[in-house]
Amino acid sequence: MSHIAFQPKGQRVDVEADYVVVGSGAGGAAAASVLARAGYKVAIVEAGPWRAPQDYPSTTYGAMRDLFDNWGLQVALGKSISPVVQARCVGGTTVINSAICVRTPGDIFRQWAREWGVPEQGLSASVWRHQDDLEQELCAELVPPASRGRSTELALEAAEKLGFKEHHVMTRYVKGCQGSGQCLQGCRNLTKQSTNVNLVPEVRARGGVVLSCAPVDKVVMKRGEAVGVTGRFIHPGNRSKGAGFFVRARKGVFVAASATYTPVILMRSGIRHPKLGHFFRAHPGAGVFGVYDEPIDMNVGATQGWASIGFRDSPGIKLETLAIPPEMIASRLSGGGTALMSKLSEYRHLAMWVHSIRAETAGRVRNLGGKPFVTYSLDLPDMHRLRAGLYLTAQMHFAAGAKAIIPGIHGLPYKLGPDDLELIKHAPLEHRRYITIMTHLFGGAVMGGDPRTSVCDPTGKVRGTRNLFVSDAAAIPTVLGVNPQHTIMGLARHFAERQVA
């Protein structure tokens, strides 16, 4: 059987494979595909259920229920509370993401070498070679003109008017995006190349097996060697516990359960390292609505279509367009009752443009009763970046002809006109006044050359163990300043290939 879904309480399910991969998202599926192509039997063990794309929910509520981790309720606590959004299903966060594909910038490899002792020699060439392949396999393409939507067109115009040195139409792992603006709910048009529609089925076709609804409790270690994983099935609907499982790994275990879950799985498995859970990082994001006279209809067009990395070094942000569903807009606009309804009546005229911060801040993941507890407080330099990004996106909206903007900064008026821009420039820098969200996560079990500061060595192997590897965002020791999926996948393939070459 190549797919074992929820099993009710009863006899323990025993499976044997050469390699076990924990998690089927960007890092897990990328590593698993390399191992399977090398002829090994691979078992992918995934906490969430297998959802067929035709059954994806159409609403945000449904997506939170069926696809998100913990209904999207995970937060990072610090001077403010920031949602930490991830998926829990076969395909992981690639199912709900926007599929934006950006190669690892060369400066990142140099930074890893300089600050983390990860030898650059051969690494960049290897990751980029894997990224070449992934772009072919996952159909990386420019958002087609017919699917760009008005918001993206306006952003292109604004960037030209403001003389941006770099800006572009996005490249995404999408084969013929139809512009339904529904990436967050999963692509029911089957055009987005999330790992559940390509790499995971490939692993099965090559003799592998997928256990879904199967959260791994721990990696079983015998005298320092990873020999398998254990856990208990969880029903995808009522969340009741099912049968226990043991998946034996003849050759090794790759943990790829995300930057929040991988460190906790390692902690539960008895891995002791002073820096396990440390160096948790993110690209916190925030956005500004532009209010236009003309209808924008951001639900028409690719979820994301335009970006600029021209400000990646200074002030340290990435700019993007983002279509968000009406339910999410309702939670972003202030007030309730008739006041909220009147604000919502402007929906068709709103365009949301966002920025993510190349943040220096590091947080921490702890194990709280078996679950990740994340602490993270934006440092002052990052608060400056956050505010600068909001100022820049507001400027763009006015350049594009918006009659007003909605800055979403507590203490400032709900709407601002073109003459009020300075209010953003000088807005107070307390994090709790701003609405931020974290979708790009890194670290917690980082790789590096120094055994005192890195949980994994530069090959992804967990220090002090045999045959235990980390192949997801948790191994990445810095932020990137660009969207992370391509880097996570390229690095995961690099790690896996080293084991089977």
Q: Cα 412–418–421 angle (5° rounding)?
A: 45
Q: Looking at 148-156, 270-278, 418-426, 479-487, which segment touches ligand FAD (CB under 6 A)? A: 479-487
Q: Distance between CA 398 and CA 408 in Å, rounded?
A: 16
24 close to 44: Cβ distance less than 8 angstroms = yes
Please identify, using beta-carbon distances, which residue of 321 and 395 lies nearer to ligand FAD.
321
Residue 100 vs 399, nearer CB to ligand FAD: 100
Cβ closest to ligand FAD, residue 153 vs residue 472: 472
Give least dist CB 89 to ligand FAD, A: 6
DSSP states of 417-429: -GGGHHHHHT---
Q: Quick one: 192 or 494, whose CB is closer to ligand SF4?
A: 192
Q: How far is the CB of 46 from ligand FAD (least distance, A)?
A: 5
Binding segment (CB under 6 A) for ligand FAD, from list 348-356, 393-401, 410-418, 482-490: 482-490
Q: Which of ligand SF4, ligand FAD, none sits in contact with 303, Cβ below 5 to 8 A by type?
A: ligand SF4
Q: Closer to ligand FAD at the Cβ: 28 or 477?
A: 28
Instruction: Report what 181 binds from ligand FAD, ligand SF4, none; CB cut-off 5-8 Å by kind.
Output: ligand SF4
Instruction: Report, in Å, the least distance between residue 415 CB and ligand FAD.
Output: 26
Beta-carbon count within 10 A of 169 CB? 18
For residue 226, report the phi and psi dihedrals to the nearest 5 degrees. -80, 120
Nearer to ligand FAD, 295 or 370 (CB): 370
State in angstroms the smallest separation of the CB of 285 from ligand FAD: 9
Which pair of tokens denotes residue 26? 């960007």
Per-residue binding string, ligand FAD, 178-217, x by CB under 6 A, is: ------x------------------------------xx-
302 binds, among ligand FAD, ligand SF4, none (CB under 5 to 8 A by kind): ligand SF4
Angle between helices 485-500 and 26-37 (to 10 degrees): 30
Q: Which residue has the tokens 């604000």?
A: 343
Query: What residue has token string 């050359």?
Result: 449
Give the nearer residue to ligand SF4 in terms of CB position, either 101 or 399.
101
Pairing outcome for strands 42-45 and 13-22 = parallel
Using CB under 6 A as the criterion, what x/- string covers residues 293-312 for binding ligand SF4?
---------xx---------
356 binds, among ligand FAD, ligand SF4, none (CB under 5 to 8 A by kind): none
- The CB-of-125 to ligand FAD minimum distance in angstroms stands at 21
d(CA 157, CA 351): 14
Site track 163-202 with ligand SF4 (rule: CB under 6 A), x = hit:
-----------x--xxxxxxx---x-x-xx----------
Mind spelling out the 3-state secondary structure of 316-381?
CEEEEECCCCHHHHHHHCCCCHHHHHHHHCCHHHEEEEEEEECCCCCEEEEEECCEEEEECCCCHH
Residue type at 77?
L
Kind of pairing, strands 13-22 and 241-255? parallel
| Identity of the residue numbered 417 | G
How far apart, in whole angstroms, are the C-alpha atoms of residue 186 and residue 41?
29
Residue 18 CB, nearest approach to ligand FAD (Å): 18
The reply to whether 473 sits near ligand FAD by the rule CB under 6 A is yes
Query: Mapping DSSP to helix (H, G, I), strand (E, B) and coil, where does residue 157 land?
Result: helix
Residue whose CB is less far from ligand FAD, 104 or 454: 104
Least separation, in Å, of the C-beta of 162 and ligand FAD?
A: 24
The backbone region for 258, taken as left when phi is positive above 0, alpha when psi lies in -120 to 50, beta otherwise, is left
Residues 103-162 that bind ligand SF4 (CB under 6 A): none
Among 33, 60, 80, 93, binds ligand FAD (CB under 6 A): 93
Question: Binding of ligand SF4 at residue 97 (CB under 6 A)?
Answer: no
When binding is defined by CB under 6 A, the residue of 13, 31, 47, 468 that contacts ligand FAD is 47
Kindly identify the residues of this chain, within the stretch 250-309, that bind ligand FAD according to CB under 6 A.
256-259, 261, 265
Q: In the chain, count of helices (H) and strands (E)?
A: 12, 21
Position among 7, 23, 139, 460 found at the interface with ligand FAD (CB under 6 A):
23
Q: Which letter does DSSP use for residue 176 in this model?
A: S
Q: Looking at residue 20, what DSSP letter applies? A: E
Assign residue 489 a region (left: φ > 0; alpha: ψ between -120 and 50; beta: otherwise). alpha
Of these, 49, 92, 228, 460, which contacts ligand FAD (CB under 6 A)?
92
Q: What are phi and psi of 96, to 5 degrees?
A: -105, 0
Give min distance, CB of 432 to ligand FAD, in A.
22
Amino acid at 414: Y
Q: Containing H/E element for 394?
A: helix 380-399
Pick between residue 302 and residue 307 the one whose CB is nearest to ligand SF4.
302
* Phi, psi (rounded to 5 degrees) for 93: -70, -15
Chain positions contacting ligand SF4, by CB under 6 A: 174, 177-183, 187, 189, 191-192, 302-303
